[in-house]
C-alpha cells in the first residue's frame, strides 16, 4: 500500500526546522523584510543546523540526507517566511547541486565544504535580461583563450549573487556551435571578485525582500579553463536536470507558504470578533479556510509523489512540473484568501499574511512560469509541441 507517513528521521528534521522557524525566524523576519536586509544571523543558524548540506554526502561536509529532506525543511521555513526559505532553496538547488552533480573531484573538494556549512553561498547565472523562460536564447559568451575562458554578457534576477558570503556564480554561456548549427552552451564557475565580473545593485522587489537578488555583468572576465562544470556543450542539458530537481524544491516552498496562510487564518479567526462573534464562527470563513487547507494538502501530496519518484530513480519530470504548478497555484490562492480574511490587517506588511501575499506571486514566475509548466505537462501527455 502507498504510505505517506514520514519516517522517524524525517519527522525529527521537520520538527526541528519548524521550531527554528517559529522561535528564531518569526520574531525578527518582519524587520529584515521592511529594511530589505539579508538576514545573516538566521543564515548562520540554518548553517549550524546543516540545512545547506542536507542532500550532500558527509565526505563533503554534508548531512548525508536526501532531496526529500531538503524539501521538508523548505516547507517548514516557508510556513513562516519565504525569504529565508528561498535563500536555502537557491543555495542548495541552484548553487550547490550543479557542482555536486557535474563538478570534478577537485571542484567538489574545494567548494562543497563551505557550501554545505552555509558559510559560502553559490549562485546560478542562467536568466538573462532578454531571455526569460527561453534559456536557449543565451547570449552570454565564453571564448577559450589559451588556458582561460573569456566571458562577456549579462545575467538577471540571480539569487544569492551579491551577499558577503557569495563565493561564486555558475554561469551558462555560449562556447561555440553544435554540428546542427545550434548554440553550444556550457557551464562555467566564476569566483566572486574575479576582474571583469560585476554585481549590480540589488533589485527593489515586490516580495522576497529579505533575500538577495542582483543582475550580473561580465566584461572580458577571465577564469581558468578548469572552471568548466561538466562536459563542454552540456550546460543546457545540465540546466534542465537541475531545474527539474529545483521544481520539486520550489514546490515544497510553495506548499509551506500555502500552509502558513492556513496557520495564520486559524489563529486570527479564533481571535478577531465581528458583529458579536469570532470570525471562525461564520460559515463563510470556515469554508474559505477549508478550501485553503485542501489546496495545501493536495499540493503537498504532489511534491511528495515527485520527490519519492526522484529518490527511486524513476522518471519524475511530469510529476515535478505538476507539483510546481499545483503549489504555486495553492500559494497564490491561499495568500489572496488569507488577505481577505484579515481585511485591512492583511494589507499591512507588518503581518505575515501581508508578506505572504507579496511573496506568493513570484512562485508563478520563478524557476519556470505557470505557462511553461502547462506547456511541459501537455508535452508529457503527448500533445504536439
Q: Which CATH architecture has domain 237-380?
A: Up-down Bundle (1.20)
pLDDT of residue 368: 87
pLDDT of residue 14: 97
Residues of the chain with CATH 1.10.540.10: 8-121
pLDDT of residue 1: 52
At 137, phi and psi to the nearest 5?
A: -90, 20
CA 60, 17, 244 angle in degrees (round to 5)? Answer: 60
Contacts of residue 145, defined as CB under 8 A and 6 or more positions apart, other chains included, come to 222
Q: Parallel, antiparallel, or unpaired for β 277-278 and 273-274?
A: antiparallel
Q: Which residue has the cell 536555502?
A: 88
Can 367 be counted among the known catalytic residues? Answer: yes
Residues of the chain with CATH 1.20.140.10: 237-380
Q: Which residue has the cell 485553503?
A: 292
Can you name the CATH fold of 123-233? Butyryl-CoA Dehydrogenase, subunit A; domain 2 (2.40.110)
* Other CB atoms within 10 A of residue 212 CB: 28
pLDDT of residue 245: 94
From the candidates 58, 89, 367, 380, give the one annotated as an active-site residue: 367
**HSE toward the beta carbon, residue 360, CA cutoff 13 A:** 29
Integer Cα distance of 182 and 177 in angstroms: 6
CA 332, 337, 342 angle in degrees (round to 5)? Answer: 125
pLDDT of residue 2: 62
Tell me the torsion sign for CA atoms 66, 72, 76, 81. positive
Integer Cα distance of 385 and 379 in angstroms: 6
Tell me the torsion sign for CA atoms 250, 252, 258, 261. negative
Grid coordinates belonging to 277? 462573534
Residues of the chain with CATH 2.40.110.10: 123-233
Please report which helix (H) or strand (E) contains residue 149, including its range. strand 148-159
Tell me which of 3.20.20.70, 3.90.780.10, 1.10.540.10, 3.40.50.880 is the CATH number of domain 8-121: 1.10.540.10
Low-confidence ranges of the chain (pLDDT < 50): none
pLDDT of residue 307: 96
pLDDT of residue 190: 98
Amino acid at each position: 500500500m502507498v504510505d505517506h507517513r514520514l519516517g522517524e528521521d524525517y519527522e525529527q528534521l521537520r520538527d526541528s526546522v519548524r521550531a527554528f522557524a517559529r522561535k528564531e525566524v518569526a520574531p525578527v523576519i518582519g524587520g529584515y523584510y521592511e529594511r530589505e536586509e539579508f538576514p545573516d544571523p538566521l543564515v548562520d543558524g540554518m548553517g549550524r543546523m546543516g540545512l545547506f548540506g542536507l542532500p550532500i554526502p558527509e565526505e563533503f561536509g554534508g548531512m548525508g540526507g536526501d532531496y526529500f529532506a531538503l524539501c521538508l525543511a523548505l516547507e517548514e521555513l516557508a510556513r513562516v517566511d519565504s525569504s529565508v526559505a528561498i535563500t536555502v532553496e537557491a543555495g542548495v538547488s541552484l548553487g550547490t547541486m550543479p557542482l555536486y552533480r557535474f563538478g570534478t573531484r577537485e571542484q567538489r573538494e574545494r567548494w562543497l565544504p563551505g557550501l554545505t556549512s552555509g558559510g559560502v553561498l553559490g549562485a546560478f547565472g542562467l536568466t538573462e535580461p532578454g531571455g526569460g523562460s527561453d534559456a536557449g536564447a543565451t547570449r552570454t559568451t565564453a571564448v577559450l583563450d589559451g588556458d582561460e575562458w573569456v566571458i562577456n554578457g549579462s545575467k538577471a534576477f540571480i539569487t544569492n549573487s551579491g551577499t558577503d558570503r557569495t563565493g561564486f556564480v555558475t554561469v551558462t554561456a555560449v562556447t561555440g556551435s553544435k554540428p546542427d548549427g545550434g548554440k553550444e552552451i556550457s557551464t562555467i564557475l566564476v569566483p566572486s571578485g574575479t576582474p571583469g565580473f560585476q554585481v549590480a545593485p540589488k533589485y527593489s522587489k515586490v516580495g522576497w525582500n529579505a533575500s538577495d537578488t542582483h543582475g550580473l555583468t561580465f566584461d572580458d572576465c577571465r577564469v581558468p579553463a578548469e572552471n568548466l562544470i561538466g562536459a563542454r556543450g552540456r550546460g543546457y542539458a545540465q540546466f534542465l536536470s537541475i531545474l527539474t530537481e529545483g521544481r520539486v524544491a520550489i514546490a515544497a516552498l510553495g506548499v509551506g507558504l500555502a500552509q502558513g496562510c492556513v496557520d495564520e487564518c486559524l489563529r486570527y479567526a479564533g481571535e478577531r470578533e465581528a458583529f458579536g462573534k469570532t470570525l471562525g464562527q461564520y460559515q463563510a470563513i470556515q469554508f474559505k479556510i477549508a478550501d485553503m487547507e485542501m489546496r495545501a494538502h493536495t499540493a503537498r501530496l504532489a511534491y511528495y509523489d515527485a520527490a519519492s519518484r526522484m529518490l527511486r530513480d524513476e522518471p519524475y519530470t511530469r510529476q515535478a512540473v505538476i507539483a510546481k504548478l499545483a503549489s504555486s497555484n495553492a500559494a497564490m490562492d491561499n495568500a489572496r484568501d488569507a488577505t481577505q480574511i484579515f481585511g485591512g490587517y492583511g494589507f499591512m506588511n507588518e503581518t505575515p499574511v501581508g508578506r505572504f501575499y507579496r511573496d506568493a506571486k513570484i512562485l508563478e514566475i520563478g524557476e519556470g512560469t505557470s505557462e511553461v509548466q502547462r506547456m511541459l505537462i501537455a508535452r508529457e501527455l503527448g500533445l504536439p509541441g
